[in-house]
Structure 1
Amino acid sequence: MTFDPARLPRYSTAGGSLKPSNPTVNAATHPRTSPAPAARRLELLDALRGFALLGVLLVNLRSFSLYEFIARSQRDALPTAAWDRALSLAMELLVDAKSITLFTLLFGVGFAMRSNRLAGNANTDGMRLHVRRMLVLLAIGLVHAYLFWWGDILRYYAVFGLLLLAFTRLSARTLAVLGVCVAVVLPVLLQPLVPGLLPAQAGKAQASAAAWSAFVSGDWATMLQGNLARDMRMRIAVWSLPLFVFGRLLLGMAIGRAGVLQESVAHRRFWVRLLRASFAVALAASALLMLRDHGGTGGTGSTAVVASWLGEGAGLHATRLLRELAPLAQGVFYMAAFVLLFQHAAWRHWLRKLAPMGRMALTNYLAQTLFGLGLFYGIGLGLGPQFGIVGVVICGAAIFALQALFSCWWLARFRFGPAEWLWRSLAYGKAQPMRLQATA
């Protein structure tokens, strides 16, 4: 059997937005106690999720491959060391924290779209359904985190997804301002206070060595112990992660509440302005951070003065602010650029191929963990970091291509991805219909 694109919903730009042109399921057959039918999904949102998953995969594979746990001397001894340094810098500038920013924004957008759709039932069935969805997602995240990978993000989405219910009556503008304050300003204000209140931890080198020893082990119990220890360490070391996630969820909720993504063609002017503003902020912030981290040492002139100022006194607070602002602005820039490109038929022809990946985002996210552990950990093939960042990029491209093909094949036959089906079935309290109905 081969993949038949005709079996997937097709979209048009009629009416100023990307909407399904061949809906086959009506509201009467799918009441509000059932998941939204595929024909009502927003293809642009799914394609954006698929795009974000590529960046998430590349960043996570750096941890899965154990590259981040080896010392600088070991990295320099790898045959790919020269290429690794260039790719590491490229990932720092283009991918790190930006892909998860985009992924988190989209979760907030999805929440706003569901809350808008269920607005008339928000205090009864809709709210209870959302609570069940988040509790099931929390359970999935906890299993994922404690039995497989310490870097799980689903737990945060579930917990803050419940908290978002308290913000459903706020305007889009208020949500956006609040999101920026939580994601950018609050971590800087708390930086002088919070670290001193947290338990003391072993040094980074010692912690990395312990993680390395556990993850290269072929014993599952040893790996689980190391995974739990790493998780506990990172919840303390990266104490601002909850603010990182919650602020972006609020911003995504603002975008969804405003309807600018659902009606992206009609709001083209908004996206153009957002593109320009986010690009300017991201470029300026990233340039200053690069100057602070990689330039100005031993130099003279204005660049050395700026680099020196960013490293001391009030400049340190400015640097912290820039570190929070840069990935947020760049993630927003990626979203705006993708939205505008999606409005052009030539680009949309290719970008829409990412939509099946996005429709199965949970399945693909969890499967990426299985790929990572199976290839690089001692309980799997044990490849480890021997291929450096070059291997990470090549492996990431291969995994993403396989998942894209599998997503297309699967969704030509089924309504949901496997993990999505489980999530929905548990949330609705009954097994959801899985197979697509044949159409004439």
Structure 2
Amino acid sequence: MNSLNTIAHVAIASPAPAARRLELLDALRGFALLGVLLVNLRSFSLYEFISPSQRDALPTAAWDRVIALAMELLVDAKSITLFTLLFGAGFAMQLNRRDATFGSRTHVMRLHARRMLVLLAIGLVHAYLFWWGDTLRCYALLGLMLLAFTKLSPRTLAVLGIGTAVVLPVLLQPWLPGLLPTQATRMQASAAAWSAFVSGDWATMLQGNLARDRHMRVAVWSLPLLVLGGLLIGMAIGRAGVLQESIVHRRFWIRMLRASVGTGVAAAVLLVLRDHNGTGAVAEWLREGAGVPLARLLQEAAPLAQGLFYMSAFVLLFQQAAWRHWLRRLAPMGRMALTNYIAQTLFGLGLFYGVGLGLGPQFGLVGVLLFGVAMFVLQALFSCWWLGRFRFGPAEWVWRSLAYGKAQPMRLVSVA
């Protein structure tokens, strides 16, 4: 009977009202969505699947090389890392809030499990019917694992997170070469994906989508470790309360900013020397000498360090009234993160795939940048308009209604 009462209590529980949401956290999510969009548009536009000679033949080739380097240094893997940190922080903050409200962690843990299972279902539909690059499945499955870490201290969570995201992939790397795709296999997979995605036939596109999904789950085997590590570090941040009371903990964010920018810059410089034909003893040492393990360690540490840098810089800027006036405009987009993420997929496929307008990679990375900024601005404006009338985004409403076991009130109630 007690278990039935607990389940019933969870079913009738309601989400936190807008007044209790942390605007800073929502604004950070909105900011992270810009990086996610730019990275994903590189795949949506099919630029990722054309050969170097085809890229050089594009009229935008000179600018594309500059943008590619800038994205490698500033965006790639950093945006998903920031989003992951926020996901973990949000869970810890929800756990603290619900624990204070209901007096028991059992309620919030069961609710979290239901939310993750619903998110997994949404992710499976998104991945297998639309886009192979879906990350919702990874968040849902690893988000369930967070339940095992709810009693750990922030310090322990942070240490485990760094070990999982940075050290563990380096330790596993020597054991995996025979299992990973070869260069020839990667080229064949890209060619097959190109053929499927430029096709105007939905069945062909879906078949290619499934094949690409299977290939990438092996090729990017370390991604789940990065995500789990980021979730644990984000959970540590949420447990410590430094995000909820960011002004009180300003010194923490300044120290985090300094540490992360130092690590991120050092890693970025050394990796550019390694990956872009750098000359000299250091470059050779990183590519072929005893520095190979160090280079691998830096490769895993760089996105985590830069994700923490973006978070720290954003938090500190948000504390200043002039910056907060503009940055808070990203909060509605962050509140509708799931809706906007799925909408980005639909727009991307509709614009670039053969089943849509079929624009393809003809505009290069210049087009990716322009389309990305335009789409982001439109989504930000739409999010503000929508949340001026409704409590949740469309996808958030579905997610929450299924998780809470009943349809949530959608329209805002006007106060006379």
TM-score range, shorter chain: over 0.9
Distance change >3 Å, CA 205–CA 197, structure 1 → 2: closer
- Which of 43, 47, 63 in structure 2 is aligned with 1:63? 43
Q: Which amino acid aligns with 2:221?
A: W
Instruction: Measure how far apart 1:195 and its partner are.
Output: 3.6
After superposition, residues 123-134 of structure 1 pair within 5 angstroms as 123-134=105-116
1:221 counterpart = 2:197? no
- Quote the Cα distance in structure 2 between the aligned partners of 1:263 and 1:32: 30
Instruction: Measure how far apart 1:129 and its partner are.
Output: 1.0
> Contact 2:11–2:405 at 8 Å: present in 1 too?
no
1:291 counterpart = 2:273? yes
In structure 2, what is the equivalent of residue 232 of structure 1? 214
SS of 1:386's equivalent?
A: coil
- After superposition, give the CA deviation of every residue in 1:226-268 in whole Å (9 maximum; x if it has no partner): 0000000000111111101100000100000000000000000
In structure 2, what is the equivalent of residue 382 of structure 1? 358
- Quote the Cα distance in structure 1 between the aligned partners of 2:137 and 2:390: 27
Instruction: Measure how far apart 1:130 and its partner are.
Output: 1.0
In structure 2, what is the equivalent of residue 267 of structure 1? 249
> Contact 1:296–1:305 at 8 Å: present in 2 too?
no
Provide TM-score, normalisation by structure 2. Answer: 0.95
- After superposition, give the CA deviation of every residue in 1:387-439 in whole Å (9 maximum; x if it has no partner): 00000000001100110010000000000000000000000111000000001
In structure 2, what is the equivalent of residue 368 of structure 1? 344
SS of 2:358's equivalent?
A: coil
SS of 1:103's equivalent?
A: helix
In structure 2, what is the equivalent of residue 402 of structure 1? 378
In structure 1, what is the equivalent of residue 169 of structure 2? 187
SS of 1:368's equivalent?
A: helix
The count of residues paired between Structure 1 and Structure 2 equals 405
Instruction: Measure how far apart 1:36 and its partner are.
Output: 0.6
- Which of 301, 305, 315 in structure 2 is aligned with 1:339? 315
After superposition, residues 50-199 of structure 1 pair within 5 angstroms as 50-119=30-99, 121-197=103-179
- Quote the Cα distance in structure 2 between the aligned partners of 1:402 and 1:291: 38
Gap runs ≥5 in structure 1: 1-29, 298-303
Distance change >3 Å, CA 32–CA 45, structure 1 → 2: farther
- Quote the Cα distance in structure 1 between the aligned partners of 2:11 and 2:296: 48
- Quote the Cα distance in structure 2 between the aligned partners of 1:424 and 1:438: 22
- Quote the Cα distance in structure 2 between the aligned partners of 1:387 and 1:325: 33
Instruction: Measure how far apart 1:188 and its partner are.
Output: 0.3
In structure 2, what is the equivalent of residue 421 of structure 1? 397
1:314 counterpart = 2:290? yes
Q: Which amino acid aligns with 2:381?
A: L
> Contact 1:115–1:122 at 8 Å: present in 2 too?
no
- Quote the Cα distance in structure 1 between the aligned partners of 2:209 and 2:325: 41
> Contact 1:109–1:256 at 8 Å: present in 2 too?
yes
Distance change >3 Å, CA 108–CA 32, structure 1 → 2: farther
Q: Which amino acid aligns with 1:259?
A: G
- Quote the Cα distance in structure 1 between the aligned partners of 2:153 and 2:343: 37
Instruction: Measure how far apart 1:313 and its partner are.
Output: 3.6
> Contact 1:171–1:254 at 8 Å: present in 2 too?
yes
Q: Which amino acid aligns with 1:39?
A: A
Q: Which amino acid aligns with 1:217?
A: S
Q: Which amino acid aligns with 1:384?
A: G
SS of 1:292's equivalent?
A: helix
Q: Which moved more, 1:370-379 or 1:280-289?
A: 280-289
Distance change >3 Å, CA 296–CA 373, structure 1 → 2: closer
- Quote the Cα distance in structure 1 between the aligned partners of 2:259 and 2:111: 37
Instruction: Measure how far apart 1:175 and its partner are.
Output: 0.3
- Quote the Cα distance in structure 1 between the aligned partners of 2:395 and 2:326: 26
SS of 2:291's equivalent?
A: helix
- Quote the Cα distance in structure 1 between the aligned partners of 2:232 and 2:77: 17
Instruction: Measure how far apart 1:123 and its partner are.
Output: 4.6
Instruction: Measure how far apart 1:56 and its partner are.
Output: 0.3
- Quote the Cα distance in structure 1 between the aligned partners of 2:333 and 2:47: 27
Instruction: Measure how far apart 1:45 and its partner are.
Output: 0.3
> Contact 1:33–1:125 at 8 Å: present in 2 too?
no
- Quote the Cα distance in structure 1 between the aligned partners of 2:30 and 2:120: 22
- After superposition, give the CA deviation of every residue in 1:43-75 in whole Å (9 maximum; x if it has no partner): 000000000000000000000000010000000
Q: Which amino acid aligns with 2:319?
A: Q
Aligned Cα root-mean-square deviation (Å): 1.5
Instruction: Measure how far apart 1:196 and its partner are.
Output: 2.6
Instruction: Measure how far apart 1:314 and its partner are.
Output: 2.4
In structure 2, what is the equivalent of residue 45 of structure 1? 25
Gap runs ≥5 in structure 2: 1-9
> Contact 2:60–2:364 at 8 Å: present in 1 too?
yes
- Quote the Cα distance in structure 1 between the aligned partners of 2:167 and 2:394: 39
Q: Which amino acid aligns with 1:359?
A: R
- Quote the Cα distance in structure 1 between the aligned partners of 2:385 and 2:136: 26
- After superposition, give the CA deviation of every residue in 1:76-127 in whole Å (9 maximum; x if it has no partner): 0000000101111111111111111101110001110111112355453222
In structure 2, what is the equivalent of residue 256 of structure 1? 238
> Contact 1:360–1:407 at 8 Å: present in 2 too?
yes
- After superposition, give the CA deviation of every residue in 1:293-337 in whole Å (9 maximum; x if it has no partner): 22533xxxxxx1111111124211111001001111011000000
Q: Which amino acid aligns with 2:44?
A: F
In structure 1, what is the equivalent of residue 185 of structure 2? 203
- Quote the Cα distance in structure 1 between the aligned partners of 2:227 and 2:261: 21
Distance change >3 Å, CA 293–CA 125, structure 1 → 2: same
